[in-house]
Amino acid sequence: MRHVYALAELYLRHGDVEAARDAYLASLDADDGLAVLQVPPEAVVEAAQSRKRAPRCKRCGARLSRKRRQRCSRCGVTTA
């Protein structure tokens, strides 16, 4: 899992999952490199998004507005 967060960090910096992966692989040995190659790009993007702490609905995952972050506009669930 630590690889996912390291990749997410690089992804935010490079703006591209493959560029992040290349940069990260350069700093690893073969065993870690293999693990990093198995991380799906979606997992990296997801980790990067949660790192940016975009508020999301806990029930349906919709992005919440900044003004009304406690109430989901899609499913109406209220999170305190």
Q: Which residues bind Zn ion (CB under 5 A)?
A: 57, 59-60, 62, 72, 74-75, 77
Helix, strand and coil content of the chain, in percent to the nearest 5, comes to: 50, 5, 45
* Beta strands in 1-80, from DSSP E residues, in sequence order: none
Question: C-beta of 40: minimal distance to Zn ion in Å?
Answer: 24
Q: Is 71 helix (H, G, I), strand (E, B) or coil?
A: strand
Nearer to Zn ion, 27 or 78 (CB): 78
Question: C-beta of 32: minimal distance to Zn ion in Å?
Answer: 37
Question: C-beta of 36: minimal distance to Zn ion in Å?
Answer: 33
